[in-house]
Amino acid sequence: MKATQRLIVILALMFLVSNVHAASQVGVSGAWIPQAPPGASMMAGYLTLKNEGDTPVSILAAQSDRFRSVSLHQTVIEEGVSRMRELHLIEMVPGQEVKFAPGGMHLMLMEPRKLVAPGDRIEITFLLSDGQRVPAIFEVQAADSADDAHEHHH
């Protein structure tokens, strides 16, 4: 192998390693989607994200092939009425955890492309401001088991 080829291989490996490190900077845990009634065009997703790196992270959006659109939302109470607000940016400082939970932040999953059933595992990818993509696997849980399994998160 020529010196220039070795250099190209070394640079490519360095690039790949740096991208893997950046993408793994955001940890994902407890990702789940409660089963929706048959024919529902809207669902919600919940999880915990943690900035495990030493630099701030900004989440811009989320996407999934299983839904026509995925957006980040926050439930707020205004004048005694619960309303949803779309979030266009979630900033996380090093070490910070952000919980998406019923009654708070959540993923709005619009228009499933096919039936979503308990036991399904659905990939949703978070898009970061630096261009990185963080995949998360969400497990669909039956409505009654979702309430029981995640009651302690409220």
Chain position carrying tokens 């090093």: 94
Pairwise pLDDT comparison (35 vs 151), residue with the higher score: 35
Q: How far apart are CA 50 and CA 134, in angstroms?
A: 12
Confidence of residue 144 (pLDDT cuts 50, 70, 90): confident
Q: Is the pLDDT of residue 106 over 60?
A: yes
Quickly state the pLDDT bin for 1 (edges 50, 70, 90): low
Instruction: Categorize the per-residue pLDDT at 55 as very low, low, confident or very high, splitting at 50, 70 and 90.
Output: very high
How far is the C-alpha of 60 from the C-alpha of 90, rounded, in Å?
A: 7
pLDDT of residue 153: 37
pLDDT beyond 60 at 151: no
Q: What is the mean pLDDT of the chain?
A: 85
Question: What DSSP state is assigned to residue 21?
Answer: H
Residue 62 has pLDDT above 80, yes or no: yes
Contact status, residue 133 vs residue 23, Cβ threshold 8 Å: yes
Distances from the Cα of 154 to the Cαs of 7, 11, 53, 114, 146, in angstroms? 53, 47, 27, 30, 12
Global pTM reads: 0.77
* Both structure tokens of 136: 């998360």
pLDDT at position 148 over 70: no
pLDDT of residue 76: 87
The distance of Cα 118 from the centroid of its chain, to the nearest Å, equals 19
Structure confidence at residue 82 as a pLDDT band (50, 70, 90): confident
